[in-house]
Amino acid sequence: MAKIIVVTSGKGGVGKTTSTAAIGAGLAMRGHKTVVIDFDVGLRNLDMIMGCERRVVFDFINVIQGDAKLKQALIKDRRLENLAILPTSQTRDKDALTREGVGKVLDELREDFDYIICDSPAGIERGAYLAMYYADEAVVVTNPEVSSVRDSDRVLGLLSSKTHLAEKGEGGVKSHLLLTRYDPKRVASGEMMKVEDILEILSIPLLGIIPESTAVLKASNVGTPVTFDTKSNAGKAYEDAVSRLDGEQIEMRIKPERPGLFQRLLRRTA
Amino acid sequence: MSAESLTLNDGSAAARAEEMPLQVRSRSFTAVVLKVTGAADAGFFASLDSLMRQAPHFFVNAPLVLDLEQATDLQVKGDFVKLVRELRARRLSPIAIQNASADQGIAAFGAGLITLQGGRDVPTERRGRAAEAAPAASEPEPESEPAAASLLITEPVRSGQRIFADRGDLIVNASVSSGAELVAHGSIHIYGPMRGRALAGVNGDKSARIFCQSLEAELIAIAGLYLTSDDLGPTVRKKRVQAFLRDQTLCVEPLK
């Protein structure tokens, strides 16, 4: 049975799309048939992060409106045969999404894939609502700062009330916390919130802590999910998070100590 | 013609007693609603008189609201003036109309009646007894069950969520996030960290209290009197506390 996972946050710029790409690639690397869907209609980015922007012909909206078949819109990843991308439209807006249309596409995808990862737009309006509506599980991406934590809390409230599972009375969507852009030095100096404080406020299980890393921006710019960068801290952290999402028990590896000069040089050239 | 009741709300601003020469409070009152069918003619007054003979105490001192949904004949100011005069002669106190058209609203305003929206029915029998005991009672009235039921919440109350206990107490056995709101006619009990807002006794119940396991609230209010997080000092912050009203002042004290 395919599992639908929404990657959401409420707040913008916290790393939803990066995390979607990394989680999608990570699950595919573990042998699962995985598709990532971009719900950010009008602000299409997932295709770029996945490095397939030049291969987009038909998109999610074309499929919803019946102008194209799902098979025509799905783009197969060139690096991983288990991975596919369903890009969205850059010219339309969120009103083009309908609950029935999204449901139909997801049902069709359920037949072919093990994991369906929905990349939610920021905010709590239509796009974000429909991205989370059919989800079985949610990855709530949060930065260690107060506004991001409050927005995540708001989204958790919606996940437990405004989704298909909640409406069926099955207790809402199972949610995991993914802490991104975590900088141990700034946490130590009190500039960033501590993990325990965030967990106390949100009270959901922690899926992973992704350290602030130059590897993330670099990976985005060249269109490679950061999970492929197995040497970087961020890549490893995503790998661990994906393993936990897949049901493995792995210990957290937060490294509060400063990386050595040699390591830093290595990362810059890696 | 039928009689029923509704709840009036006279504002939402709140003021703290020691700082202002006047106090603004939100308070609910119970009123009797009179449904006028057809024209307010001799037949209408005959039925009204007969009803008043059956239940002489029912209408005494109670504010009266006229429901004009089925009274399309009442259109001009003169009719309303006459109607108000006749009702007052029977020691009734008409104050407002509802379910009226725009024209009816203007005509009735000329006769000193305001237009009300909303309202909620409560059982007339209980209303009758309340009118006998204490006119225009302001206690929250349970709608049907004999005892006020409490509302129990066991999941965290997230930012942006609003929980309303429209009868009795509200009990939250989980955390309440910043930006969340708890509202109850009775008392509020929170057994997790309390970081949101809590408004107890919103119907004017001054005996309502707020109990917290760890008070980190943005705002707490009882019967319209409130304190914000700035007013909560270190003696109560993050402590087990109760908040209650004493002599028009909202007090917060640690629980022993």
B3-17, B47-61, B104-118, B221-235: range with lowest mean pLDDT: B3-17
User: Would you list the DSSP string of B114-154?
Assistant: EEE-------HHHHHHHHHHSTT--S---SSSSSPPPEEE-
Residues of B with CB under 8 A from a CB of A: 155-161, 174-175, 177-180, 193, 195
Tokens standing for B140?
């929250």
Please give the pLDDT value at position B26.
Answer: 67
- Answer yes or no: is pLDDT of B126 > 60: no
- E strand or H helix that includes residue B52: helix B42-54
Q: Chain A, 173-202: which have a CB under 8 Å from a chain B CB?
A: 200-201
Task: With CB atoms and an 8 Å threshold, state whether A157 touches B160.
Answer: yes
Task: With CB atoms and an 8 Å threshold, state whether B160 touches A203.
Answer: no
Interface residue A147 vs chain B (CB under 8 A): no
Once rounded to an integer, what is the mean pLDDT over residues A227-246? 94
User: Would you list the DSSP string of chain A?
Assistant: --EEEEEE-SSSSSSHHHHHHHHHHHHHHTT--EEEEE--TTS--HHHHTT-GGG--S-HHHHHTTSS-HHHH-EE-SS-TTEEEE---SSS-GGG--HHHHHHHHHHHHHH-SEEEEEPPSSSSHHHHHHHHT-SEEEEEE-SSHHHHHHHHHHHHHHTTSSHHHHTTS---EEEEEEEEE-HHHHHTTSS--HHHHHHHH-S-EEEEEEP-HHHHHHHHHT--GGG-TTSHHHHHHHHHHHHHTT---------SPPPHHHHHHHHH-
Which CATH fold would you assign to the domain B149-254? Answer: Pectate Lyase C-like (2.160.20)
Which among A153, A160, A161 has the least Cβ separation from residue B177? Answer: A153
* The most confident of A26-30, A260-264, B88-92, B117-121, by mean pLDDT: A26-30
- E strand or H helix that includes residue B79: helix B77-89
Please give the pLDDT value at position B212.
Answer: 96
- Answer yes or no: is pLDDT of B244 > 80: yes
- Answer yes or no: is pLDDT of B253 > 70: yes
Confidence of residue B93 (pLDDT cuts 50, 70, 90): confident
Average pLDDT over all residues of chain B: 79
Confidence of residue A265 (pLDDT cuts 50, 70, 90): low
- Answer yes or no: is pLDDT of B143 > 90: no
Confidence of residue B148 (pLDDT cuts 50, 70, 90): low
Q: How far is B157 from chain A (nearest CA, A)?
A: 7
Once rounded to an integer, what is the mean pLDDT over residues B143-155? 72
Task: With CB atoms and an 8 Å threshold, state whether B158 touches A203.
Answer: no
- Answer yes or no: is pLDDT of A270 > 50: no
Q: How far is A230 from chain B (nearest CA, A)?
A: 36
User: What are the residue boundaries of the structural domains of chain B, listed by start?
Assistant: 32-116, 149-254
Please give the pLDDT value at position B17.
Answer: 44
More confident residue, A151 or B118: A151
B118: left (phi over 0), alpha (psi -120 to 50) or beta: left
Which among A154, A160, A200 has the least Cβ separation from residue B179? Answer: A154
Q: How far is A260 from chain B (nearest CA, A)?
A: 40
Please give the pLDDT value at position B152.
Answer: 95
Express each pLDDT in B173-197 by its tens digit: 999 999 999 999 999 999 999 999 9
Query: Does CATH number 3.30.70.260 belong to domain B32-116?
Result: yes
Residue of A nearest to B154 (CA): A171
Please give the pLDDT value at position B79.
Answer: 84
